[in-house]
Structure 1
Amino acid sequence: MDDNWHVRVLFDADAIARRNDEIAAEIAARKPKDLLVVAILKGSFMFAADLIRAMHRAGMEPQVEFMHLSSYLDGTVSSGNVAILRDVDSNVNGREVLLVDDILESGRTIAFAKDLLAARGANVQSCVLLEKPGKRAVSISPDYVGFTCPDLFVVGYGMDVAHRFRQLPFIGVMEKDGGEAGA
């Protein structure tokens, strides 16, 4: 990536922290029993970590697992098929599960994970940091949404482009020469 690119802040660190606390309060108000948070890797790792800490502040004690799913494999455009690269270790039968993902666009990944865990006997809800409503390819609505996101290519707060920018404490938009990058 050349040096003509920069990242414009879309959602700053303070707004993200406030929203995490609000989501945690909404989840805590449901009083879930034996909650298992399943973070979908890689993009959700920062969001999941901060959300779990916010749940702790809200008086919750969730357990945590990870799934690594991919619909991209080696490409940059979704193949439409979801592959399990790493599955959860826990038995989810009879448990309340909160799936946590970074972006809900086509919906294929989170719908796949939700259907898989529900087939194993879990009561599954979903939480996404960003939702891009105009991109849906399957019928799914998240139970909790951090922010509705414009149809832009975003990075930061765990999300990347070519394995760069995950470390940013905010969500930003890639821009080149003063213009926005394509979605």
Structure 2
Amino acid sequence: MGFEAADVSTFIDRQAIAARVAELGAQLTKDYQGKALTLVGIMKGSVFFLTDLARAVDLPLTVELLGVSSYQGGTETTGEVRITSDLTKPMADKHIVIVEDIIDTGLTMKFLLENFAARHPASVKVCALLEKPARARVKVPIDYKGFVIEDKFVVGYGLDFDEKYRNLPYIGVMKGT
């Protein structure tokens, strides 16, 4: 099931992703027993991860989506983070886990953590499928981490290149990058 892209080589296969998402879901289930958990997915990249993660958490939870951008096409961040679509509900007194596809420079997550602090939640934690420490410009806490990867431009499982490749069922590296 799923398609193969001729110009993308598999970096993390779907089985490894599924296994790690199950582990993260089990950890969230343990950590949030008795608490009202809200997963906030950062669009568009985290949507596949968010969906699978929410199904792996064995607790009642709510899901919110927040649109944020620091890319204008291509492979490099502009460094300027902006909200493109805000939350629909207040976050005051809620236990929030921000669900992100990848943390590379840390600038987007730094912005998000500052933004969420102003919303007065009961707690805020970060869950990222991927961390790319070689690109970090600021250090941000990652409470739940899928994989640490080297400095490669990755696509698939929600990650895109110019809005393409998001629906690959694995994480891949574009040939020639």
TM-score between both structures, scaled by the size of structure 1: 0.88
SS at match of 1:147: strand
Deviation at 1:74, TM superposition (A): 5.4
Identical residues among aligned pairs (%): 39
- Between the aligned partners of 1:124 and 1:102, the Cα distance in structure 2 is 17
Tell me what 1:83 maps to.
82
Tell me what 1:24 maps to.
25
Tell me what 2:170 maps to.
170
What is the RMSD computed on CA atoms of the aligned residues?
1.6
The farther-off stretch of 110-119 and 91-100 is: 110-119
Unaligned stretches of 5+ residues in structure 2: 1-5
The runs of at least 4 aligned residues of structure 1 exceeding 3 Å deviation read 73-76
- Between the aligned partners of 2:163 and 2:73, the Cα distance in structure 1 is 13
1:132 is matched by which residue type in structure 2?
Answer: K
- Between the aligned partners of 1:9 and 1:78, the Cα distance in structure 2 is 23
Q: Is the 8 Å Cα contact of residues 74 and 161 (structure 2) preserved in structure 1?
A: no
- Between the aligned partners of 2:74 and 2:15, the Cα distance in structure 1 is 33
Tell me what 1:64 maps to.
63
Tell me what 2:124 maps to.
124
Deviation at 1:106, TM superposition (A): 0.5
Give runs of aligned pairs for residues 27-176 of structure 1, distance below 5 A: 27-31=28-32, 33-55=35-57, 59-73=58-72, 76-122=75-121, 123-175=123-175
Q: Name the count of aligned residue pairs.
A: 171
SS at match of 1:81: strand
Tell me what 2:3 maps to.
none
- Between the aligned partners of 1:85 and 1:51, the Cα distance in structure 2 is 23
- Between the aligned partners of 2:107 and 2:92, the Cα distance in structure 1 is 23
Tell me what 1:178 maps to.
none
TM-score between both structures, scaled by the size of structure 2: 0.91
Unaligned stretches of 5+ residues in structure 1: 176-180
